[in-house]
Structure 1
Amino acid sequence: MNVLSIRDLEKHEKDVLLFSAFHFDLASSEVAAIHSSLNIRVALLNMLLGKVPISNGSILVSGENITQHKRLHEKQIGICFFDQGLYDRLTVMDHIKFFKQLYASELDMDQVLQLTQLGTLRSKKVNKLTYSEKRRVHFAQLLLKNPTLFIFEEPDLNVDVETKRVFLNILEYLKREQKGVLVLTGIMESAITIADSVYRLNEDGIHKIEMEDEKENESEPKVVEQEEAIPTAFNFNKVPTKVNEKIILFDPPEIDYIESNDGQSHVYIKGESFPSVFTLNELEDRLKPYGFFRCHRSYIVNLQKVREVITWTRNSYSLVLDDKPKSTIPLSKTKMTQLKEMLGLK
């Protein structure tokens, strides 16, 4: 049985269609992410909490319709909101004890402290914690509730590297415990790094994002030969982008990275996005002579801008760029192997 099943769910806000009717299933031991706008995310959360009536479609948790079981969310659904309050004057341990008693939790407090890496902070008051440390207290709260369905809103937004690693370890624990995990985010890089499957939800409905690495085949040596010939095949030094009716030309070294979104490529320079007139595949071919690398199916990165390579889990990696916003770009497992070879690492 699926932990979460959504059937023909549709939402209008006044005269605006937020999302058209869609189906979605989340199984136990699965982590899925839905990438959407803030308005869509808020509407989904309010529906799950019963704050907004469901006029079209249905939401089922463990086979039970949430509109027919008004108190279902109190036991089976747990939500970690992006903007969530804590008791500033209490210590971390006071919070753990309070939540354990509130939810009559059977989880061991030391286990929760270990999972969230809050053990060294147990005597520290919440008002003395960093934002990232407070997020870990939020994670601890939801772990103690121990629902069937875990929902996280923007769990790794603005957190430090340690907290993001803690969150990924929590996800591995929840999968072992056969929980269903749904992540709601407006950041595609986070969705790709965190989840086993990624979906985009908008007015056209829901669409699954291709996550599999491109398959390697026996003809790959021939591709390498073609790559060696690319510098003589193209003679250009500008990348055109289009803004309104203007064509803007950029030198390749100016570009930080390129992202493909619904078939449209966007060139990122100093935190600003410019739609490209070329596809991602075309840009990959054109930019290889300038030190650009296809690090993921949906991303091309300027290797000269890469500052760090972060290993989150055995199959999850990110590149941190040396640009103004310190952008993080997903790196697929297959591409990680290629990058190590390029860097001369084993």
Structure 2
Amino acid sequence: MKVTIENIPDGSEPEIIVRCNELDESLLQMIHYIKASSKKIIGLTGLQMHVINPKDVFYFESVDNKVFIYCKEKVFESKLRLYEIETEYVNLGFFRASKSTILNISKIESVSPIFYGRFEALLQNGEKVYISRQYVPILKRELGL
């Protein structure tokens, strides 16, 4: 793949042009990633609103009809529902790990099989997250296994 970078005059909006014979999966992922890289997540702690970069999120979890955003050292509450997060961020490397969890694949340090076909993911922050057996094939596909 050839990459060409051109300088543009100050005040001009950056533009990306993709030239290809056929739009394959890797190009689609790259396009989605570029479009979504400007997306931010709003996390709440009490009355404060925090702007969170999706790449800093380890996982989202739904507990008692509330959705929480787990980052390296802090936990925030989200006003979005889990299905909204899944739809919005699936092309940024997030995937559904269970009915109540959406996991950032880039934050996984290791995975290991456990009982009844489930997997356990050890994250870079030391936390362990369980992946339901029905979502294990998705994880394997995302990891290229």
TM-score by length of 1: 0.31
Which of 313, 316, 335 lines up with 2:115 in the alignment?
A: 313
Matched, 1:294 2:96: yes
Write the distance in 2 (CA, Å) between the matches of 1:288 and 1:304: 12
Distance 1:330 1:271 in 2: 20
Residue in structure 2 matching 1:342, options 130, 142, 145: 142
Higher alpha-carbon Rg = 1
Find the aligned partners of 1:311 and 1:245 in 2 and give their Cα distance.
Answer: 40
State whether structure 2 residue 127 is matched by structure 1 residue 327: yes
Equivalent residue in structure 2 for 1:249, among 51, 59, 77: 51
Q: CA deviation at 1:321?
A: 0.3
How far 1:327 moved relative to its partner?
A: 0.6
Stretches of structure 2 lacking an aligned partner (at least 5 in a row): 1-27
Aligned equivalents of 1:300, 1:308: Cα separation in 2: 16
Deviation at 1:316, TM superposition (A): 2.8
Selected match of 1:231 from 20, 23, 32: 32
Which structure has more relative contact order (CA 8 Å, sep 6+)? It is 1
| Equivalent position of 1:260 in the other structure | 62
Aligned-partner Cα distance in 2 for 1:343–1:278: 27
Q: How does 1:166-205 map to 2 (within 5 A)?
A: none
Separation in structure 2 between the aligned mates of residue 255 and residue 314 of structure 1, nearest angstrom: 28
What is the identity percentage for the equivalent residue pairs of Structure 1 and Structure 2?
A: 26
> What CA distance in whole angstroms lies between the structure 2 residues aligned with 1:331 and 1:278?
22
Match for residue 76 of structure 2? Answer: 274
SS in 2 for 1:278: coil
Specify the SS of the correspondent of 1:256: strand
Counterpart CA distance in 2 for 1:298 and 1:238 is 21
Query: 1:315, CA displacement in angstroms?
Result: 2.4
Give the Cα separation in 2 of the matches to 1:266 and 1:301: 12
CA distance in 2, matches of 1:270, 1:343: 22
SS in 1 for 2:110: strand
* Counterpart Cα distance in 2 of 1:344 and 1:248: 34
| Partner amino acid, structure 2, of 1:330 | Y
CA contact (8 A) 2:43 2:78 kept: yes
CA distance in 2, matches of 1:342, 1:270: 22
SS in structure 1 opposite 2:114? strand
The equivalent position to 1:284 in structure 2, one of 86, 97, 116, is 86
Higher helix fraction: Structure 1 or Structure 2? Answer: 1
Aligned partner (choices 101, 105, 126) of residue 303 of structure 1: 105
Cα shift at 1:310? 1.4
Secondary structure of the equivalent of 1:314?
helix
Take 2:84 and 2:122, find their aligned partners in 1: how far apart are those partners? 24
Give the deviation of 1:284 after TM superposition. 1.0
Instruction: For residues 215-246 of structure 1, give each alpha carbon's deviation from its aligned partner in whole angstroms, at most 9, with x where no partner exists.
Output: xxxxxxxxxxxx98x939x7642100122222
Cα deviation, 1:19-76, whole Å, max 9, x if unaligned, reads xxxxxxxxxxxxxxxxxxxxxxxxxxxxxxxxxxxxxxxxxxxxxxxxxxxxxxxxxx
What is the identity, as a one-letter code, of the residue corresponding to 2:97?
C
One-letter identity of the residue aligned with 2:113? T
Matches within 5 A, 1:114-125: none
Question: Aligned partners of 1:264 and 1:251: how far apart in 2?
Answer: 20
Tell me if the contact between 2:121 and 2:130 (Cα under 8 Å) persists in the aligned partners: yes
* Aligned residue type for 1:300: I
Equivalent residue runs for 1:204-215 within 5 Å: none
Runs of 4+ in structure 1 displaced over 4 angstroms? none
Q: CA RMSD in A?
A: 2.2
